[in-house]
Amino acid sequence: MFALLPPATRALIAANFIVFALQWLTHDAFSGLFALQPLGPDFHIWQVVTYAFLHDRTFLPHILLNMFAVFMFGPPLERFFGSGRFLALYFASVLAAAGAQLATTQLSGADESTIGASGAVFGLLFAFAFYFPRQRLMLLFPPIPMPAWLFVTLYGLLELTLGVTGKEASVAHFAHLGGMAGAALVILYWRAHDHSPRW
């Protein structure tokens, strides 16, 4: 099944699991250097990309849920856009999520580092809902089917509420919203400059 995935989706999932294995083998020896650190002496520019390939090695669902989302939403989007634009969308979401998280930590004075592909995943969710709004998605808890546009709208509102209220402080809610915003900006740019979703 993995071999049947489009090439960019397959490469992203493989890269994330390879990095996760390296985290295990090295006991997170390099994670501090590549996680997204707040602006300051520990921040390096490459972290705005590399953080998205790191996951919490003590909490397996972190990587499994993120990669399951890439597995589910990556293939239809990559087949629709083509691999080049799919990767552009993915990494625009990564960068926008990083920018949102850096702004959040700067304004709040927090000093926690950030890891995970969730910002990119939220960008994929937004793009999927935009291009396939009537595709029905099934919630896990509770198992309620709903159209993609409604699912993503509710999810975005939930993230905004949790971010503003400060609940689940260990989750980067504004980074998730930043990922959605990054995807939205890329899609708006494409729609303004051409009429084809492909390169």
Kindly tell me if the per-residue pLDDT of 197 is higher than 60: no
Which pLDDT score, from 0 to 100, does residue 199 have? 44
Over residues 28-74, the pLDDT tens digits come to 999 999 999 999 999 999 999 999 999 999 999 999 999 999 999 99
- Stretch 171-192: mean pLDDT: 94
Q: Where are the domains of the chain?
A: 2-193
- Stretch 91-97: mean pLDDT: 98
- Stretch 122-137: mean pLDDT: 95
Q: What's the whole-model pTM score?
A: 0.91
DSSP class per residue in 107-173: HHT----B--SHHHHHHHHHHHHHHSTT-EEE-SSS--EEEHHHHHHHHHHHHHHHHHHT-STTS-H
Kindly tell me if the per-residue pLDDT of 198 is higher than 60: no
What amino acid occupies position 33?
Answer: L
- Which fold would CATH assign to domain 2-193? Rhomboid-like fold (1.20.1540)
Q: Which of 8-17, 136-145, 159-168 is the most confident on average?
A: 8-17
On whether the CB atoms of residues 137 and 124 are closer than 8 A, the answer is: no
Residues with Cβ within 8 Å of 173's Cβ and at least 6 positions away in sequence, in order, are: 159, 160, 162, 163
Buried b (16+ CB within 10 A) or exposed e, 73-101: bbbbbbeebbbebbbbbbbbbbbbbbbbb
